[in-house]
Amino acid sequence: MEDPTKLVPRKKLFIKTYGCQMNVYDSGRMADVLAPLGYAPTDQPDDADMVILNTCHIREKAAEKVFSDLGRLRPLKAAKEGMIIAVAGCVAQAEGAEITARAPFVDIVLGPQTYHRLPEMVARATRGGKGVLDTEFPAEPKFDFLPAPRAEGPTAFLSIQEGCDKFCTFCVVPYTRGAEYSRPAADILREARGLVAGGAREITLLGQNVNAYHGDDPARSGASWTLARLIRDLAEIDGLARIRYTTSHPRDMGDDLIAAHGDVPQLMPFLHLPVQSGSDKILAAMNRGHTAKDYLNIIDKLRAARSDMTLSSDFITGYPGETDADFDATMELINTVGFIQSFSFKYSPRPGTPAAGIKAQVPDDLKTERLHLLQQVLDAQLRTFNTNCVGKTFDILLTNSGRYPGQVVGRSPYLQPVHVMADPKHIGSIVPVKIVSVEAYSLGAVWADALEPAASA
């Protein structure tokens, strides 16, 4: 079939993505829906005919960044007739009206649930329709209107679940992404097969609450499919060597999913399982629905299922009412579990969320101090884990060329970036390497066999 993008004039599309991996996936899908209109990606905003800022509302800093970036785009747009500026994602959803008021030169404001309608919005904006705003939560799931994604390299994201019904008291996601929605298993399996046929060797299943997944089963019998069943189905696809999923909630870490970690070799031994705090008082105030002990039990069960299981987490310091004792409980949990990578943030009050209205806010310098203490321990844990890898042999998935000639970058089972000298023809292969050095955030390796293998694994 003729490439539809060749039938219309070529235009350039620049997308800047903030926030989580769901947004990374969404940016790819926005590029897909705009391709038939002649838009090809560019990595320079200066020569773009259309710029999309795909935004994140999770913390105040993330949201404010959008307005400073818009300030920089304004002269570009003034200099280029017909340039379209769109603001998408979670800031658009939460502050759509404020964006059009503060930055009236923005042509399109769209939420995360309406980007399948982008071609229509672009047509309206091109006809001079100022300030096209589409932030509703439509009844039709956008996935039914999107073209099949293409694999771009050996690793792919696949969005299986969206939205959140958990309403943690600090978090905007239930408001910006809407209610929980799981895609039908048959659609996911079809998309996965397409990605693997296109060269993907590793698929990361995505969702704001990915392990709350409860889709229709592939035979549409009315039964509900869990994430564990979906993973077992995906493991049947020939050529799919690695499966990951993110982000999970401890409350949905059921025994069937834990068992899959023991039984499905393709499921990688690294899990991002945010805990936020180690204090039961703070966990309850956050509406997380579990205790520190519950979390530790899950970790024990995961390690019993798979002994090399490694963990990462998200932490918040200075949630309203957090005392020194609460913070100590978080540090204790970190020391008990031992994480190999984590994200940690100062609590940021978000408009409209219950925690923002609590009187006992923690002073900023205390939040900062606790954040630094926590990050020191997390960094030390990561360093120890990486150092202990030296001398070991892992299978790594080679994903792309490195910065230096002859260098190829891969990912270990634990998601560490690993550098090795190799011919780029091996990209896409899974090869055994021996770890020989530790950099700040990556590992150096040599082929485990004395000779580089001649053919792909």
Name the residue nearer to ligand F3S (CB basis): 345 or 447: 345
Residues within window 309-328 making contact with ligand SAH, judged by CB under 6 A: 314, 316
Residues in contact with ligand SAH, shown as a per-residue x/- string from 50 to 69 under the rule CB under 6 A: --------xx----------
Centroid of chain to Cα 346: 20
Picked from ligand SAH, ligand SF4, ligand F3S, none, the partner binding residue 316 (CB below 5 to 8 A depending on kind) is: ligand SAH
- Element counts in the chain: helices (H) and strands (E): 12, 21
Picked from ligand SF4, ligand F3S, ligand SAH, none, the partner binding residue 203 (CB below 5 to 8 A depending on kind) is: none
22 binds ligand SF4 (CB under 6 A): no
172 binds ligand F3S (CB under 6 A): yes
Name the residue nearer to ligand SAH (CB basis): 236 or 365: 365
Any bridge partners for residue 108, and if so which? 86, 132
117 binds ligand SF4 (CB under 6 A): no
Strands 407-411 and 417-421: antiparallel
Q: How many CA atoms lie within 13 A of 284 on its CB side?
A: 6
Beta strands, E only, 18-154: 39-41, 50-55, 84-88, 108-110, 132-134
The per-residue DSSP string of 1-13 comes to: ---GGGSS--EEE
241/76 Cα distance (integer angstroms): 44
Name the residue nearer to ligand SF4 (CB basis): 196 or 271: 271
The amino acid sitting at 224 is S
What is the sign of the dihedral through the CA atoms of 223, 227, 228 and 232? positive
CA neighbor of 217 nearest in space, from 207, 208, 226: 226
Using CB under 6 A, which of the segments 151-159, 169-177, 216-224, 316-324 binds ligand SF4?
Answer: 169-177
Tokens encoding 326: 């609460």
Residues in contact with ligand SAH, shown as a per-residue x/- string from 187 to 216 under the rule CB under 6 A: ---------------------xx-------
341 binds ligand SAH (CB under 6 A): no
348 binds ligand SAH (CB under 6 A): yes
CA neighbor of 204 nearest in space, from 181, 234, 224, 178: 234
Name the residue nearer to ligand F3S (CB basis): 19 or 45: 19
Residues within window 226-265 making contact with ligand SF4, judged by CB under 6 A: 249
List 58, 118, 168, 435, residue binding ligand F3S (CB under 6 A) = 58
Centroid of chain to Cα 122: 27
Determine which helix (DSSP H) or strand (DSSP E) holds 292, and give its type and residue range: helix 292-305
Using CB under 6 A, which of the segments 99-107, 347-355, 420-428, 434-442 binds ligand SAH?
Answer: 347-355
Q: How many CA atoms lie within 13 A of 294 on its CB side?
A: 19
Tokens encoding 428: 């896409």
234/217 Cα distance (integer angstroms): 13
175 binds ligand SAH (CB under 6 A): no
Q: Tell me how far, at minimum, the Cβ of 173 lies from ligand SAH, in Å.
A: 6
Which residues here bind ligand SF4, judged by CB under 6 A? 164, 166-168, 171, 173-174, 208-209, 249
Which residues here bind ligand SAH, judged by CB under 6 A? 58-59, 170-171, 173, 208-209, 247, 249, 274, 276, 314, 316, 345, 347-348, 350
Which residues here bind ligand F3S, judged by CB under 6 A? 19-20, 22-23, 56-58, 89-90, 172-173, 176-177, 208
